[in-house]
């Protein structure tokens, strides 16, 4: 099989892996949290799925380009890691403090990201090699080819499952969403759930559509915590309203009621 045919297969299988991974990772939390308006960053889930497919096709192309199996896997994995790390860095960076924080996170997560890309890229190149071998030895078998593709899809689906929020995070999201719905029915600030009484402007702005997102950095929400609070497993949830109003809440394992603040 020549390089052109190998790269075409790499693109096809890479896009298939991107479709399987993106289909799970982008929607799995909406399945486990039905009825809750989870935040979807631009350009939206459907457009993100298309981008996942295109990215998968590009990585599949890079994996299939060299004749050497391991070289292709290495080039593709490192490229995917560099691009995803750069996107995460640009999204997190803003002020000087954010840039320093994002740089530290980037430094400590670069190698783990490689091991995230490695299994899928390795599998894409393996499927390409399997098809190449069958073509080379005239051992064409529909069953074997479909079996290898099915294995690729299953692994890609399994990797996408890691995007599911942990159980404690899902419980906190449900709790906050219920609190918002109750707060919307309040006639005055004293009738609000206690955590929402500290959120200035909630009654005036909460009628607008909203969405919830879990933040990776709890310090992004300016809530005063006790010294012991920083040692707990903190869950930071930001609530974004379509009218521009927003607030955030910090949940800890030691405190059932969150600390909330507008900012």
What pTM was estimated for this model as a whole? 0.82
Place of tokens 């719905």: 181
Place of tokens 């507008």: 262
Q: State the Cα–Cα distance between residues 184 and 203, nearest whole angstrom.
A: 7
Q: Could you give the percent of the chain with pLDDT greater than 90?
A: 65
| Helix runs in the chain, H state only | 3-25, 28-32, 45-64, 69-92, 96-136, 142-160, 167-184, 202-205
**Three-state DSSP class for 223?**
coil
At 46-102, the pLDDT tens digits run 999 999 999 999 999 999 999 999 999 999 999 998 888 777 766 655 444 555 555
Structural domain boundaries of the chain? 3-163, 167-262
| pLDDT at res. 228 | 42
Tokens (6 digits) for 217: 């950095």
One-character DSSP codes across 116-173: HHHHHHHHHHHHHHHHHHHHHTT---HHHHHHHHHHHHHHHHHHHGGGSPPHHHHHHH
Q: How confident is the model at residue 145 (pLDDT cuts 50, 70, 90)?
A: confident
């Amino acid at each position: 099989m020549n390089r052109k045919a190998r790269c075409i297969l790499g693109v096809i299988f890479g896009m298939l892996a991107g479709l399987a991974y993106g289909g799970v990772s982008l929607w799995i939390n909406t399945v486990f949290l039905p009825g809750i308006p989870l935040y979807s960053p631009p350009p939206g889930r459907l457009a993100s799925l298309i981008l996942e497919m295109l990215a998968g096709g590009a990585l599949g192309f890079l994996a299939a380009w060299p004749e050497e199996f391991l070289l292709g896997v290495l080039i593709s994995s490192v490229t995917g890691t560099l691009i995803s790390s750069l996107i995460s860095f640009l999204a997190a960076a803003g002020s000087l403090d954010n840039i320093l924080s994002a740089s530290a996170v980037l430094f400590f997560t670069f190698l783990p990201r490689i091991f995230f890309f490695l299994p899928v890229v390795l599998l894409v190149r393996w499927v390409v090699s399997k098809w190449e071998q069958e073509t080379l030895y005239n051992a064409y078998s529909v069953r074997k080819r479909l079996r290898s593709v099915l294995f690729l899809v299953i692994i890609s689906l399994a990797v996408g499952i890691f995007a599911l929020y942990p159980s404690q995070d899902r419980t906190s999201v449900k709790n906050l969403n219920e609190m918002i719905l109750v707060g919307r029915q309040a006639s005055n600030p004293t009738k609000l759930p206690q955590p929402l009484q500290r959120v200035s402007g909630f009654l005036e702005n909460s009628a607008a559509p909203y969405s919830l997102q879990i933040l990776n950095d709890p310090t992004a929400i300016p809530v005063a915590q006790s010294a012991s609070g920083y040692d707990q497993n903190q869950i930071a949830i930001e609530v974004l309203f379509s009218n521009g109003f927003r607030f955030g809440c910090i949940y800890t394992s030691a405190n059932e009621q969150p600390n909330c603040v507008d900012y």
